[in-house]
């Protein structure tokens, strides 16, 4: 069957690698990141999804674990309304300094510290959305991190499909983690076989 022009145009509009709303700081952050040998940045798909989910949280309180150089942070910032606030935690001073310099905005608090210590000492209010993109908060201290998500809030992870930089044992670790998540009754989740492998978790209300 011949496809009409309308169908062709529609299919191209649905191409998920077309991003029309990339944060304006994205290019300069990417350029600064390329000068370092850092290859763990979140991709455009993850960033775009984060922006959309963050935008669902009006006056949201957002946490990112693993700022890197701030690529995902730039998308998170784009999704935040004027009343939203975010905290982003990173232990690499060089990386977080790029994010700090490029994303100057009073709604973001940049914290350069060890994520394990930060999570164990944090005693502020719970979060509407946590993007856990470092070992602490994901494979380690998961219970503590999930406890910081409000009921109805999101817990987001990427890199859940095998990545080229994974050590051999990591696949088993990821698989075990996913299996454990799926057994829980205090969350509901959707696995996206898309981007680097994303899992969107929503914390279920007890009420």
Ligand X SMILES: C[S@@+](CC[C@H](N)C(=O)[O-])C[C@H]1O[C@@H](n2cnc3c(N)ncnc32)[C@H](O)[C@@H]1O
Q: Give the footprint of ligand X on this chain (CB under 6 A).
A: 40-42, 66, 68-69, 71-72, 89-92, 95, 114-116, 133-136
Which lies closer to ligand X via its Cβ, residue 10 or residue 23?
A: 23
CB of 92 to ligand X, least distance (A): 4
Of the pair 95, 149, the CB lying nearest ligand X is at 95
DSSP label of 196 = T
CB of residue 5 vs ligand X: minimum separation in angstroms?
Answer: 38
Nearest distance in Å: CB 91, ligand X = 4
The string of DSSP codes covering 56-93 is: TSTT-EEEEE--TTSHHHHHHHHH--TT-EEEEEES-H
Q: What are the distances in angstroms from CA 109 to CA 100, 158, 193?
A: 9, 22, 32
Q: Which is nearer to ligand X, 19 or 116 (CB)?
A: 116
Query: Which residue's Cβ has the minimum distance to ligand X?
Result: 68
- Token pair of 143 as six digits: 């219970």
The DSSP element (H or E) to which 151 belongs, if any, is strand 149-157
Backbone angles phi, psi at 166, to 5 degrees: -75, 135
The nearer residue to ligand X, 68 or 153, going by C-beta atoms, is 68
Residue 156: strand pairing partners: 131, 200
Q: Which is nearer to ligand X, 117 or 151 (CB)?
A: 117
Interacting residues of 136 by C-beta distance below 8 A, sequence separation 6+: 65, 114, 115, 116, 118, 119, 145
Output the smallest distance, CB 119 to ligand X, in A: 9
Q: How far is the CB of 14 from ligand X (least distance, A)?
A: 25
Cα gap 12→44, rounded to integer Å: 18
* Closest distance of CB 136 from ligand X, Å: 5
CB 89 within 8 A of CB 111: yes
In this complex, which beta carbon is closest to ligand X, that of residue 135 or of residue 147?
135
């Amino acid at each position: 069957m011949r496809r009409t022009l309308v169908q062709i145009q529609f299919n191209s509009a649905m191409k998920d690698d077309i991003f029309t709303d990339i944060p304006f700081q994205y290019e300069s952050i990417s350029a600064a990141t390329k000068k370092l040998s850092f290859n763990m940045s979140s991709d455009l798909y993850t960033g775009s999804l984060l922006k959309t989910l963050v935008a669902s949280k009006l006056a949201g309180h957002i946490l990112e674990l693993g700022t890197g150089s701030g690529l995902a942070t730039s998308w998170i910032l784009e999704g935040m309304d004027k009343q939203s606030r975010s905290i982003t935690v990173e232990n690499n001073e060089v990386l977080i300094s790029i994010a700090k310099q490029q994303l100057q905005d009073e709604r973001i608090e940049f914290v350069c510290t060890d994520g394990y210590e930060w999570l164990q000492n944090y005693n502020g209010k719970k979060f509407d959305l946590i993007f856990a993109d470092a070992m602490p908060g994901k494979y380690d201290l998961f219970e503590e991190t999930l406890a910081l998500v409000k009921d109805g809030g999101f817990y987001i992870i990427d890199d859940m499909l095998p990545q080229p930089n994974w050590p051999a044992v990591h696949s088993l670790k990821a698989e075990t983690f996913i299996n454990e998540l799926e057994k829980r009754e205090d969350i509901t989740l959707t696995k996206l076989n898309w981007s680097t492998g994303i899992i969107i978790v929503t914390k279920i209300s007890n009420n």
